[in-house]
A and B are shown apart, each in its own frame.
Chain A
Amino acid sequence: MSGKKIVIIDDDPEICDAMSEILSEYDYQVFTALETKSGYQLLLEQRPDLLILDIMMASMNEGLDFATKMKEREGVYGMPIMIVSARPPSEKGYGRTLEEDLDWIHADIFMEKPIEPEELIHNVKLLLKD
């Protein structure tokens, strides 16, 4: 049991619950938040080993800005960030493509919904070097 900490920020409580259940099965300690404000508190309190962030939250920019901020702030201790989004990287029409966004977000892994849970586990393990 690794006991590593993962914080999930997603505005859908059911998704938070499900992710939490699944990751718990793999012996991770999971904390969830429904928005970035309480999510940030959680990050400060728990200093997790991984952040899983849904960028398609109430406002798309909320997620993107948050990820960037986290990367800048947490860069020193190097918390990896996994971004989960329903929007494919190629989709246009929001002023920026996700490839462009990724340049400055520096997310470590981008996963498009719907996520294959096996793949999720695989990527989590990869980022946590388990």
Chain B
Amino acid sequence: MNGNSLKTLFGSSSRRTFLSGIGAAAVGLTFTGGKFGKAFAAEEKKLNFYNWDTYIGENTLDSYKEASGVDVNMSLFATNDELFAKLRAGNPGYDVIVPGSEFVERMIQADLLVPLDHGKIPNIANVSKEFMEDAPYDPGRKFSMPYTWLVIGIGYRKSKVKEVPDSWKYVLDSDLYKGRIAVMSDASELYRHGFKYLGQSANAGNAELVKKVEEMLIKQKPNIKAFHEDNGQDLLLSGEVDVVMEYNGDIAQIMAEDDDIAFVVPKEGSLKQSDTLCIPKGAPHPENAHAFINYLLDAKVGADIYNTIKYPSPNAAATALMDDAYRNNAAIFPPAEILAKCEYPRYAGQELTQLLDESLTRLRAD
């Protein structure tokens, strides 16, 4: 009874409907204005871009303003969870966001994204074909355009390891580097590599497998120095640890500073991800958003961006313009036969997400 009256008070679809209603009103205004002129001439020359830190070229936004007159206001988020938590309660006004592939799937399911009009993004032609096709998280690329891709592996200090740590064993199931190991604190990333190590698919998650990995990690815990918050590269660079589970782009950035550091994707394979450009529901400037995505996929603009951020590019035309030091960097572009064993993590549903989280809580509490 009481529960029902609460429900009427706030409604089960409370916040998002209300807030996206405000967003819809703003979009509605834009369309009314559009009736009189060209459809998008009425959109104000502004764009709100929600991006990761150090994830854009130094002059990209300025030169976009010069080229189009549109003022890009960029704000930063630190994790996909932060992005999702923010949009979950209604789009606060972002036009272009950069979610990771797993979250693209989650956001599609939660109905938070606007379908892209491919006709307004002619630079799609620059994206290498495999990245347009190999996108199980968004078949047909209806909602997302690939911006970068990444693969998780092991970053290590060459002078401190006995041989190349080319297996997840060294991180997840061995005391060879006791006290000098750091792993990710993100349950999904940590456990899925456990699945790979046990010879299963990264997407094979079930209660039994989670339990198995949890037992393995509880045994491994005394050998682990830290569960890092995606700052594993700092731990490796500062000499705090010698082997670390981390993204290739992060390790590639510190390899430029320290010759003693290298990166390997373990032979069991690992997770690959792609950060993508999407337009969230309720975006106030959808026309500008399409134009901006198209601009970022331009070959020259892309080459400038990837030169700065050192992440692997899915943009074939941009890569072609870049120097050999980038193109032949084995950390940025791991060998194809290893990459073939890597998988995109798929969004596994609320139940498994919460199962993984509780397992991580047990692991960290033990």
Binding between chains A and B: no
